[in-house]
Chain A
């Protein structure tokens, strides 16, 4: 029996190779993701460790709050440093600060932060042994107008020791003399982040933390354990406001924080790998089904000779194991290569990952081989069972068993599974089931529609292809009928493409809705003539403009008002959230946030404005006091005004005055500056004047309303393109599936195709028949995918209505492009089968006996 299995495999090399590709691609993607993230994790763990390698203890504030932008901790008073240094057992102690500081190169352009990648850091230059920074040229900063920069920035900005550079920070742009150039350990930069290192007073000034530090790094004397040191410092300081932790714990916390970010990246990529494998499973199922059908006689013969059903099933499954395992092994190897390539690619787009050994963990090998083989075997289960049901008598018939009676069962099953999927999806979106329920629901919907598809494939196929006979005559008729003749096969081939297209279409609809929502909220709220925004878009809290920019612009003749807007994390009434801050006097002339009740323009330092939606949701009332925890400590603010355009309109639910903001935050960076011109001002003249101010702020960009809208949507497009690239794999696998099915069908139809050639069909016409069949299958999958995409997009957009997603938009042009692309992809998938069909030898085909 095993000999038969082996012969079966070797006898169908091409078809198994195509099946294997479907598995290999999915496994390669998954293994590549795991290897890449494992490698990055090890590298960054090393990096994080090296930052704090010599730190035995770390002193920091005990006050930490949870906000929408993550955990935020208060700073400690600088006087703590002097007290720590006097504690017995402390060998060395340094105050540390980390803040936004962007270096402007010799060419007047900012260095770093390409595409919102690694941050641009300002730091304190500590000359002691605690720092990972090593001077390679010059000396450390001794004057307050001196700076040390990292070697990568020096290279990028063509800066040398003794040169003068401008530094952008939350203070007005200022020039510094480069006193030295440093490396981070042996690396030119700290994982791609730019670094500007200053004297302590300068760093404190630039970060708005005068007299304060983020924390204090401590090295103990030899022979004192980290725990002992922590105990001594805690006792010595006797300050309930500070917390002392060991260096080991600091390292662990930093590693965990990074691992958490990486985890998100990891899960996102693995999701795409699973999608690819899911699509691949349809191809495997189809191939095994067709092969079993083609071998009906052979299997019947084996049964007649005494093979048991079990043996037949096992024989087919053994093939699946062999194919799955070999394909997974190939995928694993390809995945390692992919990881190395991806790492190089990340480096090429400016995300500099230091060198490190590629990590191939046993887990990667086990998951890769296990999942790849497992999915192959599961996909082959049904075909194997079908093979076992073949009766010995089938050996004697040219069997085409009818499956119509099973269609009713199938229809019921399909509807039930699809229905369960819809329920799970809606529960996930609206009932608080979370992203897992959404994913599971989508999976069930795909599965359910795939089960249902053979029932409706024939009529739908005929419908899709109805104009074909008129357009292409007999060629069209043949293509249409060939696509419709085996609904089960056509259905599972189309289903694979359906999944890919549904996801592509869904993400297209989702992105369009986001863009439309952006645009409508900008149209609604934008009352100013111009906005200044940062060129690179960094994470909130990192980057922006010094408030000096808004002040300078406001003084430009012809400008009526200019006001910056800031966003910051806060804990309001126990909820991690965020708020906006602006100058209340000018805010309403610059953007329309639909003031409702109270005096928005007169918002004072102890007051807050809240959106009407939030007021309604929470049951708050005007004049009520809200308990708010800021990074610098708690405060109670009174609700003094309400406004209509909250987070649902794409803005924010809480607004405080700039004055209040300055009381509670030391990090003062405007995200955007809105500008209104005087009514009779000459736009061109004023623009030139504003641009002159912006010369000192090379990270700033002046935009009018349309440009602002375009740049917002452009960001969505960037993410969209990335997702398209990741989904491309699933679509490619589906196309391989079309090629495979057609190729197998052609083998079955050899005599029929030979007849067509004999009675006068040219090779070109025959290729055309195959191509059109592929196009019909592709369109079937695409159409169904679009329907599912529409449903997924619609429900997701509606579930996010309170997150500012106000508009559902299915972009007709893009969706038509996807359709055309799918049809064209069908043509490409048909190249190989068509060529194969055209090569059929007429004599072989007609003298089949």
Chain B
């Protein structure tokens, strides 16, 4: 185990998340052990209620585990208080959500630089330029979210997640609200971030073709990891999901 800590960007050790008590008890995560390699694009899949979103939330410090441990790098998140968790999120992690990704009162550029601004850090101009160019929104930087299409909004969200050069980007159904063309744009962009810049990405999705962009797919059911695929294809993922009875 100890040798692996150096290469894993994030890992969960016997992590459980239990909601309610007694008869109403729900085990969203049931003593999960999982590791996510640095510089890799990992997808988490599973049917509704499998605990995939909960896993993402506890890994990202948005939620706490009932028992067990969660590490970002060498830091045990369960030992941190609310403020320290906020700092970890701001400085070490990036986020892309399915919806409500952007602050409506800020323009695209301000949204991208938001975590840096909150930390009081100036963005690296070269890197900013690279990200903006890669996202392909150079001419829309001063537009507000309601002036952008859904795909453009998600690309801004991804750009925001990448701009702080976080150790890990967490993406929660980033293409769930997009048509397939926009979804492809966003996913290729994420793939490139991994290939070109060595970014670590952990993505929750229920879409097999989205999962196919990943290096590795982890399958969850009933709060447990039941399988995984390396270098998946859409068809392989789709087959595996069917057997899970989604």
Contact = CB atoms under 8 A, between A and B. Distances in A.
Nearest to B102: A755
A263 to B, nearest CB: 53
A42 interface: no
- Which range holds the interface residue count of chain A? 20 to 34
A756 to B, nearest CB: 7
Given A755-B97, A755-B100, A848-B100, A760 B57 contact: no
A777 to B, nearest CB: 15
Interface string A464-476: 0000000001110
B105 A762 contact: no
Nearest to B117: A474
B89 A473 contact: no
Given A751-B100, A752-B103, A763-B83, A758 B89 contact: yes
A482 B105 CA distance: 7
**A interface, by DSSP: helix, strand, loop or mixed?**
helix
B86 A761 contact: yes
Interface stretch (A14-22, A518-526, A694-702, A839-847): A839-847
A847 B114 CA distance: 20
B98 A474 contact: no
A474 B90 contact: no
A46 interface: no
B82 interface: yes
B110 A758 contact: no
Contact of B110 (A475, A477, A754, A842): A477
Contact of B103 (A756, A760, A842, A849): A756
A752 B114 CA distance: 13
B86 A760 contact: yes
Nearest to A762: B86
A757 interface: yes
B95 A474 contact: no
B62 interface: yes
Contacts of A573: none
Contact of A758 (B83, B95, B117): B95
Contacts of A482: 105
Given A477-B110, A752-B103, A843-B62, A759 B90 contact: yes
Interface in A309-352: none
Contact of A760 (B100, B101, B119): B119
A759 B106 contact: no
B18 interface: no
Contacts of A842: 62
Given A843-B63, A846-B100, A849-B98, A478 B86 contact: no
Interface string A425-460: 000000000000000000000000000000000000
B120 interface: yes
Contacts of A847: 53
Best-buried of B83, B97, B105 by chain A (most CB within 10 Å) = B105
Interface string B100-138: 111111100010001101111000000000000000000
Interface string A731-755: 0000000000000000000011011
B89 A477 contact: no
B244 interface: no
Contacts of A475: 118
Nearest to B105: A481
Interface in A462-496: 473-475, 477-478, 481-482, 485
Contacts of A758: 62, 89, 95, 97
Contacts, number: 77
Contact of A473 (B91, B97, B120): B120
Contact of B89 (A760, A845, A846): A760
A475 B53 CA distance: 30
B160 interface: yes
B118 A765 contact: yes
A481 B106 CA distance: 8
A57 B89 CA distance: 92
B6 to A, nearest CB: 26
Contacts of A843: 57, 62-63
Contacts of B57: 843
Contacts of B172: 846
B80 interface: no
B87 interface: yes
Nearest to B89: A760
Interface string A824-849: 00000000000000000011011111
B105 A759 contact: no
A761 B120 CA distance: 11
Nearest to B146: A400
Interface in B29-58: 53, 57
B141 to A, nearest CB: 15
Contacts of B95: 758-759
A754 B118 contact: no
A493 B97 CA distance: 34
Contacts of A752: 100, 103-104
B91 A477 contact: no
A482 B103 CA distance: 10
Nearest to B170: A758
A485 B89 CA distance: 28
B99 interface: yes
A48 B56 CA distance: 83
A755 B86 CA distance: 12
Contacts of A751: 99-100
A765 B99 CA distance: 23
Contact of B105 (A478, A846, A849): A478
B114 A474 contact: yes
Contacts of B118: 474-475, 759-762, 765
A759 B87 contact: no
Best-buried of A473, A759, A843 by chain B (most CB within 10 Å) = A759
A759 to B, nearest CB: 5
Which are the 8 A-B pairs with shortest beta-carbon distances?
A760-B90, A481-B105, A474-B117, A751-B100, A760-B115, A762-B86, A759-B115, A760-B89
30 contacts: A477-B106, A478-B105, A481-B105, A482-B105, A485-B105, A755-B100, A756-B103, A756-B114, A757-B86, A758-B89, A758-B95, A759-B90, A759-B95, A759-B114, A760-B90, A760-B115, A760-B119, A761-B86, A761-B90, A762-B83, A762-B87, A762-B118, A763-B82, A763-B83, A763-B86, A765-B118, A843-B63, A846-B62, A847-B53, A848-B100
Given A481-B105, A758-B62, A759-B115, 10 more contacts: A474-B114, A475-B118, A478-B105, A759-B95, A759-B118, A760-B90, A761-B90, A762-B86, A765-B118, A849-B99
